[in-house]
Structure 1
Amino acid sequence: MTAVVVSVLLMMVLSMLRVNVVLSILIAAITAGVITGQSVLESTSMLISGMGGQAETALSIVLLGIFAVTIKYSGITAILVNKLLKFMKGKRGAILLTIAGISCFSQNLVPVHIAFIPILIPPLLHLFDSMKIDRRGVATALTFGLKAPYLVIPAGYGLMYHQIIATEMKTNGMNIAVSTIPLGMLLPGLGMVVGLLIAVFVTYRKEKDVTTTEGLEQSLASAEISAASENIPFNKQHVITLIAILLALVIQVVTHSLALGALAGIIVMFLGRVVPFLKGDEIIDDGMKMMGAIAFVMLIAAGYATILKETGSINEMVALTNGFIGDSKLFAAFVILMIGLVITMGIGSSFGTVPILAAVYVPLCLSIGFSPLATAALIGTASALGDAGSPASDSTIGPTMGLNADGKHNHIWDTCVPTFMHYNIPLFIFGMIAAIVL
């Protein structure tokens, strides 16, 4: 238990002191290993061996980044951005809610996850600055769309999340139909909506001037590019780009592989001559620069999770809570949610936290008298807590990647802290209500 709490707190403190997130996770992971009796060398070896757990995700992220760069190269994003500019200009609240809506589609309708962010957000940065939009509000809008849909909507990543919850509950002695889980997650999802509305219309409603002399020059340059792109006609290259996007989507849905879908899209973009072969190295380098850092953070986070699991730290932490919960449903819900928050803040994965919590807390929920629907809501919410706010989560890394394209957005203070406050607090409250009333 000590290893989990100390290492997670250390990672959070280092991150808040603006230590690079990669170094923060590495130091926290090795510290967790040392506390459990491993040597520094053994901890490092365990971390490296565990990095393979996110190899597929890392490959998918990099390929999606390259695909995003090819789409941007086609010029179709300039057309999209200008349409958005005409629709949203002067409406700060509408801009943030529209971004949240587009972000939601990335989890269900077009399951590209965070890969849409480097396509959509950087061209809009000059608009945010000229309208004095607080980028922390944009970060909360993006994180809402990356997180809320998989909690409630049974499609895309949401269906995957609900299937994991149902499978793990059945494995540990409680049956529930996958089709009923969205009902159990409705209240926690409503909590996230409340958090989003507070962020958009209360916390970040006021104007914020972040433009420096350098920022102004960048904004003017972006504005000139945007103005020039207004005259770009819809052409054959754009048709091929739409075909590539559609093909990537179909392959992702059929094969359940983001990597294969992205690779197919990239091949179509090159074969269709949307991107010249001679530009191949440049495009791939840009894609690697854009998403490579995120992929590496995900790999290290997987190694960190492996240390916490293989040393028994998480199981020890979960088991120790059983001794003092008693028969109180309210107290049991509080403890389960709190443990879920700590674990997910550390490993940055809601999907990876479900099996950890379900193994111990499903039997506990049975003994206390929680219904299957209440248990699903409790496990689903507890696993999701911390995904918003964790320095290692793609739900926070993705928004930072887009908003920091001009170097004016801090990962911890401008993304992690705002998303933690606006989503984890209401998720905790609404999760407890769901566990009691269902």
Structure 2
Amino acid sequence: MNAVVAAVLIMLVLSLCRIHVVVALIIGAISGGLIAGMSLDATIDAFNNGLGGGATVALSYATLGAFAVAIGKSGLAHALADRALAMVGRQDDGGAAKGIRFMIIGLLVAIAMSSQNILPIHIAFIPLVVPPLLYVMAKLRMDRRLVACVLTFGLITPYMFLPVGFGGIYLNEILLANVADNGVDASELNVMSAMALPALGMLLGVLVAVFFSYRGNRDYNLEAIAKTERTDIQYNPKTLFMALVAIVVAFVVQLWLGSMILGALAGFVLFNVSGVVKWKEADDLFTEGMKMLAMIGFIMITANGFAEVMRETGDIASLVEGSVGVIGDNKPLAALLMLVVGLLITMGIGSSFSTIPIIAALYVPLALQMGFSPLAIVALVGTAGALGDAGSPASDSTLGPTAGLNVDGQHNHIWDTVVPTFLHYNLPLLGFGWLAAMVL
């Protein structure tokens, strides 16, 4: 059995059985290395060598966690909650509650999409924006699985369709560049036309989540949220103003220096200087915030070790070549298998941006040989890369939403983020990506 397929399946099965994702990734990585014929020492060395790749993102999340706790100390969370609940009025007013639900959904979609194309801060906004809304969402009995789907839609769809910000990197610098390097003249291609149908599949997925799958109510423990958000804190115009200024400063520093770590630290220091966070409390608050998002950081570090072992096995290329061997002249089957292989690779590696260079070298010549048009090839490779970003336990498109939704321990990463996003996005992407390859 192909080592990459085996490792990914082992990791996914263990995760679904509620084995911690870090443990599942380690066991999957070691199993994959041994199945590929690597020695235990070589497998461990490869795993250790890959760990450093996730350290920067993990530290970024730790500092963002500290910044998020400082924002909670300012009272901004409760000011937002009070304002939203005042808009709802009586808690039994179903129409008003539904309107606030859609307002929150619209706000999160807008911010998430902006984080990819307009203000390219990626997932940095989630620990700052989502935790303050948890109390409101719980009062409205909103299902957090819906919020996870909404956030993931906003994190993925813009970069796979709009060639601006991170979309410019994915579509122009990675997708079109790799397609061109492997024999397709991409100079006159409209990448948005190629990715329109796959993006439509993502849109269908989020509409199903919003209006069908998770439209009902779900109850959460308000006391657990209250403990997280420190209800004993009294806010005033000064603390709220400083919270907003600190958020702006954090984002500006991040964009200016290209570092989430320094951006979060700048915001935290501003809270200290302004007196919102007292100097004698700063150390405890910073430690509390780091603990809050420590799990996400460890998953990201471990995922990089897993990905490095998968690369070292050499079975990623074998997986692609093996799929080529069973295709024959069957064009529809070729498109389907390319997409499925892309799904497996991305779910294991956790990054669509890293998947494109791996699959393009073999997919593009094969697609040319089978008569796919240049536009269809771009759609095929672009969709194969994006598949698995939603639904991967190791992807920042799922880890990010979990980081914001699980600060009170009431949102399971696998069953409340990974499984819902897999079902609502990977399945439509498979169908609409295949359709794009057939009709373009």
Structure 1 position 62, deviation (Å): 2.9
Residue 190 of structure 2: SS of its match in structure 1? Answer: helix
- How far apart, in 2, do the equivalents of 1:172 and 1:59 lie? 37
Q: Quickly say closer, same or farther: Cα 1:251–1:34, change in 2 above 3 A.
A: same
Task: Answer whether contact 1:62 1:292 (CA < 8 A) is retained.
Answer: yes
After superposition, residues 424-435 of structure 1 pair within 5 angstroms as 424-435=426-437
Q: Which residue of 2 aligns with 1:23?
A: 23
**Structure 2 unpaired stretches of 5+:** 89-95
Q: Which residue of 2 aligns with 1:196?
A: 206
Q: Which residue of 2 aligns with 1:389?
A: 391
- Which stretch of the first structure deviates more once superposed, 10-19 or 380-389? 380-389
Percent identity, please. Answer: 47
Task: Answer whether contact 1:36 1:313 (CA < 8 A) is retained.
Answer: yes
Q: Which residue of 2 aligns with 1:63?
A: 63
2:97 maps to amino acid: G
- How far apart, in 2, do the equivalents of 1:78 and 1:405 lie? 15
Q: Quickly say closer, same or farther: Cα 1:84–1:180, change in 2 above 3 A.
A: farther
1:65 maps to amino acid: G
Q: Quickly say closer, same or farther: Cα 1:239–1:175, change in 2 above 3 A.
A: farther
1:128 equivalent in alignment to 2:137 = yes
Q: Which residue of 1 aligns with 2:110?
A: 101
From 206, 225, 250, the equivalent of 2:231 is: 225
From 335, 339, 342, the equivalent of 1:340 is: 342
Task: Answer whether contact 1:123 1:222 (CA < 8 A) is retained.
Answer: no
After superposition, residues 193-272 of structure 1 pair within 5 angstroms as 193-208=203-218, 210-211=219-220, 215-218=221-224, 225=231, 232-235=235-238, 237-272=239-274
Q: Structure 1 length normalisation: TM-score? A: 0.88
Q: Quickly say closer, same or farther: Cα 1:379–1:267, change in 2 above 3 A.
A: farther
Structure 1 position 199, deviation (Å): 0.9
1:114 equivalent in alignment to 2:123 = yes
1:397 maps to amino acid: L
**Structure 1 unpaired stretches of 5+:** none
- Which stretch of the first structure deviates more once superposed, 303-312 or 269-278? 269-278
Q: Quickly say closer, same or farther: Cα 1:272–1:124, change in 2 above 3 A.
A: closer
Structure 1 position 333, deviation (Å): 1.4
1:149 equivalent in alignment to 2:151 = no
Structure 1 position 320, deviation (Å): 1.5
Q: RMSD over aligned Cα, in angstroms?
A: 2.8
Q: Structure 2 length normalisation: TM-score? A: 0.88
Residue 337 of structure 1: SS of its match in structure 2? Answer: helix
Q: Quickly say closer, same or farther: Cα 1:83–1:109, change in 2 above 3 A.
A: farther
Note the alpha carbon deviations across 1:288-345, whole angstroms, 9 max, x for none: 2123221221121111111111220101111112223234432221111100111111
- Which stretch of the first structure deviates more once superposed, 326-335 or 88-97? 88-97
Structure 1 position 155, deviation (Å): 2.8
- How far apart, in 2, do the equivalents of 1:362 and 1:201 lie? 38
1:139 equivalent in alignment to 2:139 = no
Q: Quickly say closer, same or farther: Cα 1:36–1:85, change in 2 above 3 A.
A: same
- How far apart, in 2, do the equivalents of 1:376 and 1:344 lie? 17
- How far apart, in 2, do the equivalents of 1:136 and 1:384 lie? 21
Number of aligned residue pairs: 430
- How far apart, in 2, do the equivalents of 1:81 and 1:102 lie? 18
1:152 maps to amino acid: F
From 370, 373, 379, the equivalent of 1:371 is: 373
- How far apart, in 2, do the equivalents of 1:406 and 1:34 lie? 38
Q: Which residue of 1 aligns with 2:97?
A: 90
- How far apart, in 1, do the equivalents of 2:22 and 2:289 lie? 19
- How far apart, in 2, do the equivalents of 1:72 and 1:166 lie? 43
Note the alpha carbon deviations across 1:213-249, whole angstroms, 9 max, x for none: xx254467789939x86xx4432x5545444433443
- How far apart, in 2, do the equivalents of 1:58 and 1:166 lie? 30
Note the alpha carbon deviations across 1:377-398, whole angstroms, 9 max, x for none: 2112111111111111222222
Q: Quickly say closer, same or farther: Cα 1:367–1:12, change in 2 above 3 A.
A: same
1:47 equivalent in alignment to 2:47 = yes
- Which stretch of the first structure deviates more once superposed, 149-158 or 343-352? 149-158
Task: Answer whether contact 2:114 2:120 (CA < 8 A) is retained.
Answer: yes
Residue 185 of structure 1: SS of its match in structure 2? Answer: helix
Q: Quickly say closer, same or farther: Cα 1:420–1:86, change in 2 above 3 A.
A: farther
Structure 1 position 11, deviation (Å): 0.8
Residue 326 of structure 2: SS of its match in structure 1? Answer: helix
Q: Which residue of 2 aligns with 1:5?
A: 5
Residue 205 of structure 1: SS of its match in structure 2? Answer: coil
Structure 1 position 31, deviation (Å): 0.2
Q: Quickly say closer, same or farther: Cα 1:2–1:288, change in 2 above 3 A.
A: same
Structure 1 position 90, deviation (Å): 0.5
- Which stretch of the first structure deviates more once superposed, 246-255 or 382-391? 246-255
- How far apart, in 1, do the equivalents of 2:185 and 2:255 lie? 27
From 418, 421, 432, the equivalent of 2:420 is: 418
- How far apart, in 2, do the equivalents of 1:85 and 1:120 lie? 17
2:413 maps to amino acid: H
Structure 1 position 404, deviation (Å): 2.4
1:313 maps to amino acid: D
Structure 1 position 17, deviation (Å): 0.7
Task: Answer whether contact 1:334 1:432 (CA < 8 A) is retained.
Answer: yes
2:237 maps to amino acid: F
Q: Quickly say closer, same or farther: Cα 1:179–1:368, change in 2 above 3 A.
A: closer
Q: Quickly say closer, same or farther: Cα 1:429–1:288, change in 2 above 3 A.
A: same
Task: Answer whether contact 1:8 1:345 (CA < 8 A) is retained.
Answer: yes
Note the alpha carbon deviations across 1:268-296, whole angstroms, 9 max, x for none: 44445443433332232123212322122
Structure 1 position 117, deviation (Å): 2.6
Residue 145 of structure 2: SS of its match in structure 1? Answer: helix
Q: Quickly say closer, same or farther: Cα 1:261–1:307, change in 2 above 3 A.
A: same
2:146 maps to amino acid: G
Residue 326 of structure 1: SS of its match in structure 2? Answer: coil
Task: Answer whether contact 1:396 1:416 (CA < 8 A) is retained.
Answer: yes
